[in-house]
A and B are shown apart, each in its own frame.
Chain A
Amino acid sequence: EPEVTQTPSHQVTQMGQEVILRCVPISNHLYFYWYRQILGQKVEFLVSFYNNEISEKSEIFDDQFSVERPDGSNFTLKIRSTKLEDSAMYFCASILAEETQYFGPGTRLLVL
């Protein structure tokens, strides 16, 4: 069964550094999403992406965040200057058209 993959599974970075989290959505999917889950808290929507542009974003998704689909397979989330509070599990998801989102296994980001 096709699945969403994410790399790396874990990333440790220093505060102020840039990080890029990578996702490979299911190949024929058209809509892409990023979510985050701070330890012990709920999963929060960050951004949705369709047709090479952001379609929706939450208030969490400020100027420090950006997303990109640099080629036909990858979907990336960049955090320009990481803060301690960016430490979280980041999930990527994709869907073909409507309805069921398929989630990746997540990247655990730790900012020191």
Chain B
Amino acid sequence: AQSVTQLDSQVPVFEEAPVELRCNYSSSVSVYLFWYVQYPNQGLQLLLKYLSGSTLVKGINGFEAEFNKSQTSFHLRKPSVHISDTAEYFCAPGLTGGSYIPTFGRGTSLIVHP
């Protein structure tokens, strides 16, 4: 079964500072990788995805993530955060190899302070 570890349950950061949200997964096969964001009182929205090709993936709102196969990591980064980035972020590998069904981690709460 797929296992996802988001190492930080909460990440407080000041506005305009850089941020990294960490994600590690366990899989014996190659899987697709997704990051989703959930703003307060809203549904889930795809931030970015890795399917194949370049290991550095750019997403919406200035976020990017790097796939590291040897470390089975897919950390999410943003060089300068805004107050509006305050949300819950979910790392989500595919259910199985070749699956587009995300298996969600527990989430990291990003809290951006002015």
- A residues 26-52 near B (Cβ < 8 Å) are 33, 35, 41-45, 48
A103-B43 contact, Cβ under 8 Å, with A42-B106, A42-B107, A45-B103: yes
Is there contact, CB below 8 Å, between B101 and A42? no
B-side interface residues, number (CB < 8 Å): 18
Is there contact, CB below 8 Å, between B43 and A33? no
Query: What is the CA–CA distance of A104 and B44 in the complex, to the nearest angstrom?
Result: 7
Residues of chain A within 8 A (CB-CB) of B104 are 35, 42-45
Stretch in A14-22, A60-68, A91-99 with 4+ CB within 8 Å of B = A91-99
A95-B100 contact, Cβ under 8 Å, with A42-B106, A56-B95, A105-B43: yes
A-side interface residues, number (CB < 8 Å): 21
Main secondary structure of the interface of B (DSSP, over half): loop
Residues of chain B within 8 A (CB-CB) of A104 are 43
Residues of chain A within 8 A (CB-CB) of B106 are 41-42
Residues of chain B within 8 A (CB-CB) of A42 are 90, 104-107
Q: Which single member of B42, B45, B90, B100 contacts A43 (CB below 8 Å)?
A: B90
Contact with A along B85-114 (1 / 0, CB 8 A): 000001000010000111111110000000
Query: What is the CA–CA distance of A42 and B3 in the complex, to the nearest angstrom?
Result: 12
Q: Which single member of A33, A44, A93, A99 contacts B51 (CB below 8 Å)?
A: A99
Residues of chain B within 8 A (CB-CB) of A41 are 106
Smallest Cβ distance from B9 to chain A, in angstroms? 10
B46 CB within 8 Å of chain A: yes
Residues of chain B within 8 A (CB-CB) of A105 are 42-43
Residues of chain A within 8 A (CB-CB) of B103 are 45
Smallest Cβ distance from A104 to chain B, in angstroms? 5
Residues of chain A within 8 A (CB-CB) of B51 are 99
- Give residues in A with beta carbon < 8 Å to B: 4, 33, 35, 41-45, 48, 56, 91, 93, 95, 98-101, 103-106
- Give residues in B with beta carbon < 8 Å to A: 36, 42-46, 49, 51, 90, 95, 100-107
Q: What are 17 of the A-B contact pairs (CB < 8 Å)?
A: A4-B43, A42-B90, A42-B106, A43-B44, A45-B102, A45-B104, A56-B95, A99-B49, A100-B49, A101-B100, A101-B102, A103-B36, A103-B43, A103-B44, A104-B43, A105-B43, A106-B43
